[in-house]
Structure 1
Amino acid sequence: MKDLVRQRLSINVDVMDLLNEQIVKEAHSSSVYLAMASWCDHNALNNSAEFFYEQSKEERDHMMRIFKFINDNGGMAISPEVTDIPHDFDSLEGIFETSLEQEIAITKSIHNIVLKCRKVNDLATESFLQWFVKEQMEEEQTMRKALDLFDLMGTDGIALKLIDERIPKIKE
């Protein structure tokens, strides 16, 4: 019976497994961004806190988009277990560096799934993932823009406050 159910999937089984792994990665990113938001809140970086609260929400939304796609196409999405969330950060600049590294890792993961889709001719999932490819380009660009502010302004007290004031505009 299990094999019969798997044959009725609209998506390739190996691709579905990769998508379930991606769900875990998106959930982890959401939780890391939530921890970053908390750190910013604790350090009176209100705009940065709001930015990371929003990033956390977006990552959860990405997770849910994949979750529903799997289920809508006859697969079974697996609810992720999230562990190993860092809560101690040294600086706002360090947080944005970590964010960029995290986004690059997510981008690579999405690209690997797309390449697997091409290899197994899973055109529907490849088409679905194109939104994520574009989204990841935007996410990486946003983090790079934030890091450019540190290069331009420095990390001293007043510079940090000025950077925090500019954070809401980096997604524009």
Structure 2
Amino acid sequence: MSSLIKEDLEKKLFRPDGQHLCEFIETEYSESSKEKHYLCAAVTKSREVQISVVKHSKLGLDDKYEKIKIWLLQDLKLIDGKDPDEDNAYFDMHLDKVYNLEAYSCASKYTFTRCLLSLNDKYYKNDLKIVNFDSTYIDDSNLPSNKGDCMFLVKLCLYAFNLLCLSLCPVSLI
């Protein structure tokens, strides 16, 4: 579902402005239950990274997206994850003022933060402070590389399946 939303956001809102949407998460930005809000990270043609809050509303069968707040990543001073020892989706972004946000899940909070760190390293190399996050899940090098693990598991499953098939086949002696 999220890949369809990302494709729709990119097609209707970001691509017409010449931007590439890198990551988005659903957030609680207001009390309105009729509208959804997304926190987005996008790269512009001039290679600036923008963080925006996008309001998503329905007009009949059509989806309408509107950027209601835009900041530059280079203006982000601090991301505060609130409590690294607790599974929560709350975080603060320190920009021109402190913005209190709630992600859809704790995992999406970490995903978005990793994306911002990666974009900062790629385009700005600023000292972006990250506090109150579990560093195990923030640093990409700490995350297990599952490509090799997946291939190992696939091979193991195929081997087990072959053994099962062979054990069920009747053996005929000539």
**Same fold by TM (over 0.5)?**
no
TM-score, scaled to structure 2: 0.27
Whose radius of gyration is greater, 1 or 2? 2
Query: As a proportion of its length, which structure holds more helix?
Result: 1
Return the structure number with greater strand share. Answer: 2
